[in-house]
Amino acid sequence: GENVEQHPSTLSVQEGDSAVIKCTYSDSASNYFPWYKQELGKRPQLIIDIRSNVGEKKDQRIAVTLNKTAKHFSLHITETQPEDSAVYFCAASPMGTALIFGKGTTLSVSS
């Protein structure tokens, strides 16, 4: 089955810096790669996703890249703000089935 590795587990940046979180997956059948943001005690919220027929997608300060050959995908947050502080999870899904999540990255943005 699918296995998703996520790095780093914690990330501390200064406000205004960029943050990058990386994930690798094992199942070449995976075709959908979402990223979720979870604040303490809250539900995971979908912030951006990418499908296997696309190499890069951007939404304001957030971008995601996908390298199918190497089986890895990354989340890039530019101009970080204190409200970006949260736990971020990557996930992979083979063909419309369950999401397999990475273990999460705790992002701390200090002002």
Q: How far is CA 29 from CA 5, 19, 45, 74, in A?
A: 16, 28, 24, 18
Note whether 93 binds other proteins by CB under 8 A.
yes
Residue whose CB is less far from other proteins, 51 or 58: 51
- Provide, rounded to whole angstroms, the least separation between the CB of residue 24 and other proteins: 15
Q: Cα–Cα distance between 85 and 106 in angstroms, integer?
A: 8
Which is it for the CA torsion 52, 56, 58, 62, positive or negative? Answer: positive
- Provide, rounded to whole angstroms, the least separation between the CB of residue 93 and other proteins: 4
Note whether 54 binds other proteins by CB under 8 A.
no
Residue with tokens 């083979």: 94
Cα 15 to its chain centre, rounded Å, is: 19
- Provide, rounded to whole angstroms, the least separation between the CB of residue 62 and other proteins: 16
Q: Please select the residue that binds other proteins; options are 42, 55, 59, 82, rule is CB under 8 A.
A: 42
Tell me the β-bridge partners of 34. Answer: 49
Note whether 74 binds other proteins by CB under 8 A.
no
Residue whose CB is less far from other proteins, 27 or 49: 49
In three-state secondary structure terms, 82 is: helix
Residues that bind other proteins (CB under 8 A): 1, 31-32, 34, 36, 42-46, 49, 51, 89, 93, 95-104
